[in-house]
């Protein structure tokens, strides 16, 4: 049976944290653009919703990595779940970016 290495899990955990931190940067960008009058309040709120969903997905990544550490025999499945959460976070990031640039 295959297992995900501790090194890979450490990188995945670090990446989940980076996704959370980047969500905060997206939120701050939306707030700054709103204050500058470059996006509407509705767009800012939509970006805020996307950021919340990005944060939830990042937490899902973190939880899946924790599960992989706790049960190495199930680490492949847990890692796949972490990747799925990462894909979802990326999808919401794309939506937020499109809102920020006015598409």
Query: Does any domain span residue 1?
Result: no
Based on the structure, what is the number of domains in the chain? 1
What whole-number percentage of the chain has pLDDT above 90? Answer: 96
For residue 12, the model assigns a pLDDT of: 96
pTM: 0.91
Residue 41: C-alpha distances to residues 26, 37, 61 (Å)? 15, 9, 30
Q: How many CA atoms lie within 13 A of 12 on its CB side?
A: 29
Report d(CA 94, CA 48) in Å as an integer. Answer: 13
Note whether residue 90 is domain-resident.
Answer: yes
- Which structural domain, as residue segments, surrounds residue 95? 6-100
- Name the token pair of 5: 């290495």
Distance CA 66, CA 9 (A): 9
CB 96 within 8 A of CB 39: no
Q: Is residue 81 part of a domain?
A: yes
pLDDT for 47 beyond 80: yes
> What is the spatial distance between Cα 62 and Cα 35, in angstroms, rounded to a whole number?
33
pLDDT at 102: 79
């Amino acid at each position: 049976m295959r297992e995900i290495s501790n090194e890979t899990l450490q990188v995945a955990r670090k990446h989940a944290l980076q996704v959370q931190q980047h969500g905060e940067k997206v939120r701050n960008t939306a707030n700054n653009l709103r204050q500058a009058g470059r996006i509407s309040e509705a767009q800012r709120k939509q970006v805020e919703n996307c950021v919340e969903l990005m944060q939830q997905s990042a937490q899902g990544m973190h939880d899946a990595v924790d599960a992989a550490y706790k049960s190495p025999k199930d680490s492949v499945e847990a890692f796949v779940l972490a990747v799925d959460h990462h894909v979802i976070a990326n999808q919401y990031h794309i939506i937020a970016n499109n809102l920020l640039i006015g598409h």
